[in-house]
Amino acid sequence: MRPGIYLDFNAGAPVRPEAVEAVTAAMAQVGNPSSVHGAGRAARALLESARTDVAALVGGPASTVVFTSGGTEANALAIESAVAAGSRRLIISAIEHDSVIEAARASGVVVDVLPVDRHGIADLDWLAARLSDHEPTDGRPFVALMAANNETGVIQPVLEASELVRAHNGWLHVDAVQAAGRLAMDSRSVQADTYAVSAHKLGGPQGVGALTFGPRASLVRRQHGGGQERGRRAGTENLPGIAGFAAAARAALRDRDDNRAWRDGAVADLKAGGAIVIGEAARRLDGTLCLAFPGFPAERQVMALDLAGVMVSAGAACSSGKVKASHVLLAMGLDDLAGCAIRVSGGWSTTAKDWAGFVEAWQAMTSSYTARRASAA
């Protein structure tokens, strides 16, 4: 096994060469996009060209794309906008990213949790019943259902959910941070009212994302100050980051990786060694594998693999380095596995050797762990 195997794309993908080149060129660009002189107009042209490229990724006119600092801010903007528009009860799926869950909890309105089944798929019968019981005094129904889960890779029935939400004149928000550039899906195909994406998941720079909105959604001002982003987010735009985002979006739409075959090829060896594959019966992102080894704490697995030169994660990588039982697996009813599951995720630069190297390291790790337990017993 060769060292330095990176299989944590769901936390952040390596930056694509096209994005590096675009960021470098934009950093040499003189001028503020809001200035009216020649340099400012050139910067504005670059900004709007990038907006068009990101619009192609997310679906919808470029005029509906609002650049943000990332997926977290995009999710918050959608939720804050729905509450400002009168929603007094939010329906949030149990497997949402923490940026959605915490924004909903901080909103000051009632939050209902949309359950999932044992495969990690949203319960649409529950959603239909809840929407039918929605009280007019609670304002317009708001539903947040991610396109694909960041931990398990399980793809959600967002189009079917959208049809239910639209039948009740509701607002569907889709966190597509993991799906963008990986699935043939955009805001139009799933009829989402708001749709959030992030650059660094698909090979762009960190610190930039976007929210697109449809005609049934009305966005509030996220930051006060100047009139940037059509008055919705004040502050000079991160032009280098946005240019890199656009370059990564173009590359992601152009290229498709081969991770599904490599991932599925690894599963037989992993299961033979005692691994339990989470969400195996559901449709998943091609490059995502969530697996548990009963009794082996996730944080110890991550550390052992890291020492072997393989970088993976335990659930989401957005909790300041903390490792805790996965709320996603708990929602799936997998309480006994929630603290011993790791996530392996590849992407645009992953190779077959990377997956094979992970399998080799995992087998050595679990064999050693099993032997130590047997000896202790």
Q: 323 φ, ψ to 5°? A: -115, 125
- The CATH number that domain 5-14+256-376 falls under is 3.90.1150.10
State residue 340's pLDDT score: 95
Separation of first and last alpha carbons in the chain: 31
What does pLDDT average to in each consecutive run of 10 residues of the chain (377 residues)? 82 98 96 94 97 95 96 97 96 98 97 98 98 95 98 98 97 98 93 98 97 94 82 88 98 88 95 97 97 96 97 67 79 95 97 97 96 85
Cα–Cα dist 140/142, whole Å = 6
State residue 3's pLDDT score: 54
Class of domain 17-253 as given by CATH: alpha beta
Q: Is 109 left (phi over 0), alpha (psi -120 to 50) or beta?
A: beta
Cα–Cα dist 162/173, whole Å = 9
Cα–Cα dist 75/18, whole Å = 27
Neighbouring CB atoms inside 10 A of 218's CB total 13
State residue 319's pLDDT score: 45
**Kind plus residue range of the DSSP H or E element containing 194:** strand 194-198
Cα–Cα dist 267/276, whole Å = 9
- Amino acid residing at 116: V
State residue 26's pLDDT score: 97
- 318 is known as an active-site residue: yes
Neighbouring CB atoms inside 10 A of 376's CB total 6
Q: What residues have CB less than 8 Å from 365, skipping those under 6 apart? A: 301, 304, 305, 308
State residue 323's pLDDT score: 58
State residue 322's pLDDT score: 52
**Kind plus residue range of the DSSP H or E element containing 248:** helix 239-254
**Kind plus residue range of the DSSP H or E element containing 172:** strand 171-175
Question: Does the fold of domain 17-253 match that of domain 5-14+256-376?
Answer: no
Cα–Cα dist 226/251, whole Å = 32
Domain ranges of the chain: 5-14+256-376, 17-253
Q: Strands 5-6, 310-311: parallel, antiparallel or unpaired by DSSP?
A: parallel
State residue 317's pLDDT score: 47
> What is the signed CA dihedral for 99, 13, 324, 108, rounded to 10 degrees?
0
CA-CA-CA-CA torsion sign (171, 176, 179, 185) = positive
State residue 257's pLDDT score: 73
Of 111, 303, 318, 352, catalytic: 318
State residue 251's pLDDT score: 97
